[in-house]
Amino acid sequence: MSLGQVDSAPSNTHQAALRSEVNADSVLVFQGSETLFDLPNLWLRDNCPCDDCRVPQTQEKRFILSDVAADLAPESVSIDLDALTVTWPDKHCSQYPLATITELFQSNSQPLQSWPEGFVPQAYSWDEFLGDSRVTAEAIETFLRYGVILLSQAPVKEESLELLAPVLGPIRELLFDRIHNVSMEGHVYNIAHTSLGLPPHNDFASYSFPPSVQALHMLQNETPGGESIVVDGWAVLEQLRADRPDYFKSLCEFAVPFREFDENNETYAVEPMVRCDPQGHLVSFRFSNQLMQMMNPMQPGIKTFYQAYHELCLRITDRDSPARSTFKLQGGQVLLVAAHRVLHARESFQPIGKRHLQDAYFELDNVANKLVLLRRLNGLNNG
Query: Are 262 and 250 contacting, i.e. CB atoms less than 8 angstroms apart?
Result: no
Query: Are 88 and 94 contacting, i.e. CB atoms less than 8 angstroms apart?
Result: yes
Closest CA to 184 of 327, 24, 351: 351
Closest distance of CB 248 from Fe ion, Å: 25
The listed partner (Fe ion, Zn ion, none) that binds 203, CB under 5 to 8 Å by sort, is: Fe ion
Q: Across-strand partners of 337?
A: 148, 214
Q: In the set 42, 53, 123, 276, which binds Zn ion (CB under 5 A)?
A: 53
Q: Is 188 in the site for Zn ion (CB under 5 A)?
A: no
The listed partner (Zn ion, Fe ion, none) that binds 271, CB under 5 to 8 Å by sort, is: none
Closest distance of CB 221 from Fe ion, Å: 16
Residue span binding Zn ion (CB under 5 A) among the ranges 42-50, 183-191, 307-315, 355-363: 42-50
Closest distance of CB 223 from Fe ion, Å: 17
**Of residues 153 and 326, the one with the C-beta less far from Fe ion:** 326
Residue span binding Zn ion (CB under 5 A) among the ranges 45-53, 68-76, 99-107, 259-267: 45-53
Residue 256: how many CB atoms within 10 A of its CB? Answer: 20
Backbone angles phi, psi at 206, to 5 degrees: -85, 5
Q: Under 8 Å CB-to-CB from 198, ≥6 apart: which residues? A: 191, 192, 290, 345, 346
Closest distance of CB 278 from Fe ion, Å: 30
The listed partner (Zn ion, Fe ion, none) that binds 1, CB under 5 to 8 Å by sort, is: none
Closest distance of CB 139 from Fe ion, Å: 22
The listed partner (Fe ion, Zn ion, none) that binds 159, CB under 5 to 8 Å by sort, is: none
The listed partner (Zn ion, Fe ion, none) that binds 339, CB under 5 to 8 Å by sort, is: none
Q: Is 42 in the site for Zn ion (CB under 5 A)?
A: no
**Of residues 50 and 188, the one with the C-beta less far from Zn ion:** 50
Q: Under 8 Å CB-to-CB from 273, ≥6 apart: which residues? A: 251, 254, 256, 285, 286, 287, 309, 312
Backbone angles phi, psi at 265, to 5 degrees: -135, 145
Closest distance of CB 341 from Fe ion, Å: 15
Angle at 201 between CA 200 and CA 205, to 5 degrees: 170
Q: Determine the Cα–Cα distance for residues 10 and 80; give it in Å rounded to an integer.
A: 7
**Of residues 52 and 277, the one with the C-beta less far from Zn ion:** 52
- What is the pattern of x (binds Fe ion, CB under 5 A) and - over residues 202-241? -x--------------------------------------
Q: Is 48 in the site for Zn ion (CB under 5 A)?
A: yes
Q: Determine the Cα–Cα distance for residues 30 and 7; give it in Å rounded to an integer.
A: 10
Q: Determine the Cα–Cα distance for residues 223 and 226; give it in Å rounded to an integer.
A: 7
Residue span binding Zn ion (CB under 5 A) among the ranges 50-58, 235-243, 246-254, 356-364: 50-58
User: Considering only residues 177-206, where is the footprint of Fe ion by CB under 5 A?
Assistant: 203
SS3 108: coil
Residue span binding Zn ion (CB under 5 A) among the ranges 51-59, 69-77, 148-156, 175-183: 51-59
Taking CB atoms, the residue at the shortest distance from Fe ion is 203
Q: Across-strand partners of 214?
A: 337, 361
Q: Under 8 Å CB-to-CB from 227, ≥6 apart: which residues? A: 326, 327, 328, 329, 346, 347
Using CB under 5 A, list all residues that contact Zn ion. 48, 50, 52-53
Using CB under 5 A, list all residues that contact Fe ion. 203
